[in-house]
Amino acid sequence: MVAISKNNTGSTLFYALIGTLLCFYFIATSATIQECDLFKLEHMQDQGVAIDTDFTKETENLTQRKPKKNWTVIVYMAADNDLSHFAARNIKQMTTVGSNAELTIVVELHVRLAGNKKITRRYCIEQGRIVHLNADDPTTQKMDSGDQQTLISCCSWAMNKYPAEHYGLILWNHGTGIIDPRPGKIVHATELFSFNPHNNKLELDRNTEFLDFINQQNRRGICWDDTTGNYLTNQKLQSALEYICNTCNNGKKLAFIGFDACLMSMLEVADLIKEYADFMIGSQEVELGTGWNYQLALSQFMQESPTPLALAKHIVAMYEKTYNKVTTDYTLSAIDLSKIELLSANVHALAKLLVQGLQTTERNDFKIGIKASRDKNNCTHFEEPSYVDLHHFYTNLKANIARLQTPHNQQSIEELSRLLNEGKSLVEEIVIANVASSNLALARGISIYFPENKLHFSYEKTPFAANNKWAHFIYSYLFT
């Protein structure tokens, strides 16, 4: 997610318009949430969340195991940063649904209060009520959301205390896709979005390149912790998920992993987590700080206990319902991770052919054809322009395939054409739900890293780059 801040230069009218739009579409009730010490528990009572007199002192036996339900949804809220006030709004949205006979909603919240007091709180979300579970547990009062052991501890606690047939894990924070930029602060959405008075919607400034911007500002992260300066790299995330599934969940996959964060719906990310969940939910584009509307995202549980497939589709549909009147720049998709290896293999085979063509073709027509297919004026890209829509790139490359052909590579071109058709079909099969705004109408739900000028240092460290010829292709394309 990217936060909307009022600290940067801008007119009062501009911020008033943004505030009006966001309040209208994202507040679960007519009452607004004040942006002060939002996580002093008594403040939630003023916002319509019922709290018992002794609520702030309430504790439960941390070892007591609850009866097994169909679902436990774990929301890991890394809010020790500029997203903290959005966390309160999202928690309130969760209380409109609340836990029931089929569902338990648990939240681990990392936040910093006034006076730079860092806290970690574990909540069980009930309808109209929040139960504070770790008030008397000193080992969990001040944890680092950017440490993989903290994520492991959160899931171990939730799975032990609230056993379920299906577990959903939502990682709530900023995101940078497969790239792990250098340490620092984070992005303010006012520097990325502008208000268009002609359609009364927020629009992204495509002249600002996301990764260059955060590197210039030394900004980055998923599950980023402002106090410690740590964040979950993709490698840390993979290590944590491996332990969570193999040890905490007895060798079983999670039902879904959701990224309420920017830019995470990528082939490389899906490939990273494919062994640990049935479905992945994420955005190809940046998200506004308001993120998912949890009242809508979880509303299905008020009528039934959905299957993992049905819930993944529902969350995507509710994202469109939340944003289609707010911004012309949004995406969300759900991906079937059981088939992602087929798509990775397709990309691997395609990359080998492209490398071969770049190395053996005497004329530069081959590279020119690839460049025309990837060019940001022709291929759907996102606020970070090195992330392109895989399906659209394949479509363009197929359209330009005649430009790649020489008298000596007819057999390779035929195989290339077959792989492009296969890859497009795989994307259409693997992406089981997808929504995209008018500015991103050709986004089909899954991106891939394809920079125009330079290879980011962290990409070469990813498991995908180590095991797939795609990184070799990028290098050959950039430097041949």
Contacts of 219 (CB under 8 A, 6+ apart): 181, 184, 185, 186, 187, 213
pLDDT, tens digit (0-9, with 9 covering 90-100), for 270-321: 999 999 999 999 999 999 989 999 999 999 999 999 999 999 999 999 999 9
CB 312 within 8 Å of CB 277: no
In 3-state terms, what secondary structure has residue 75?
Answer: strand
Per the CB < 8 A criterion, the answer to whether 66 and 161 are in contact is yes
Structure token digits, residue 12: 């009062």
State how far Cα 56 lies from the chain centre: 32
Nearest to 71 by CA among 170, 171, 172, 173: 170
| pLDDT confidence of residue 192 | 59
pLDDT at 3: 59
Label residue 201 by pLDDT band (50, 70, 90): low
Residue 249 — very low, low, confident or very high, per pLDDT cuts 50/70/90? very high
Q: Which of 310, 221, 232, 228 is nearest to 1 (CA)?
A: 221
DSSP 8-state class, residue 208: S
Contact criterion met (CB below 8 Å) for 473 and 395: no
How many whole angstroms separate alpha carbon 149 and alpha carbon 236? 9
Average pLDDT over residues 140-159: 94
More confident call, 391 vs 212: 391
170-195 residue pLDDT tens: 999 888 889 866 554 445 444 554 44
Using 50, 70 and 90 to split pLDDT, how confident is the model at 449? very high
Q: Kindly report the CA angle at 465 between 460 and 467, in degrees rounded to 5?
A: 135
Mean pLDDT of the chain: 83
- Phi first, then psi: give them for residue 252, nearest 5 degrees: -95, 150
- Residue 221: band (very low, low, confident or very high) from pLDDT cuts 50, 70, 90: very low
Least confident of 174-183, 197-206, 332-341: 197-206
- Looking at the predicted structure, is the pLDDT value of residue 261 above 60? yes
Helix residue spans in 68-110 (DSSP H): 84-95
Q: What radius of gyration do the chain's Cα atoms show?
A: 23
pLDDT at 424: 99
pLDDT score of 407: 72
b (16+ CB within 10 A) / e for 350-380: bbbbbbbbbeebeeebbbebbebbbeeebbb
Q: Look at residues 448, 452, 453 and name the one whose alpha carbon lies nearest to residue 391.
A: 448
Segments making up each domain of the chain, as ranges: 12-336, 340-431+439-479
- Give this prediction's pTM: 0.86
pLDDT for the residue numbered 54 = 34
Residue 400 tokens, joined: 């330009």
DSSP string, 112-165: EETTTEEEEEEEEEETTEEEE--TT-GGGSS--TTSHHHHHHHHHHHHHHS-EE
Least-confidence region, from 4-18, 58-72, 291-305: 4-18
Q: Among residues of the chain, what percentage have pLDDT more than 90?
A: 60
Token digits for 2? 């990217």
Residue 233 is predicted with a pLDDT of 86
User: Where residue 228 falls among pLDDT bands split at 50, 70, 90?
Assistant: confident
User: How far, in Å, CA of 401 to CA of 237, rounded?
Assistant: 38
The answer to whether the beta carbons of residues 106 and 74 sit under 8 Å apart is yes
Give residue-wise pLDDT tens across range 358-388. 988 666 889 999 999 999 999 999 999 999 9
d(CA 138, CA 220): 30
- Strand-pairing partners, residue 435, are 332
Q: What is the pLDDT of residue 46?
A: 59
d(CA 121, CA 100): 21
- Do residues 398 and 298 make contact, with C-beta atoms less than 8 angstroms apart? no
CB 60 within 8 A of CB 131: yes
Q: Which tens digits make up the pLDDT trace of 450-471? A: 999 889 888 988 999 999 999 9
| Torsion sign across C-alpha atoms 170, 176, 177, 181 | negative
Average pLDDT score over residue span 243-251: 98
Choose the weakest-confidence range: 18-27, 41-50, 358-367, 398-407.
18-27
For 219, other C-beta atoms within 10 Å of its C-beta total 21
Q: Under DSSP, is residue 462 helix (H, G, I), strand (E, B) or coil?
A: coil
pLDDT: is 203 or 296 the higher one? 296
pLDDT above 90 for 38: no
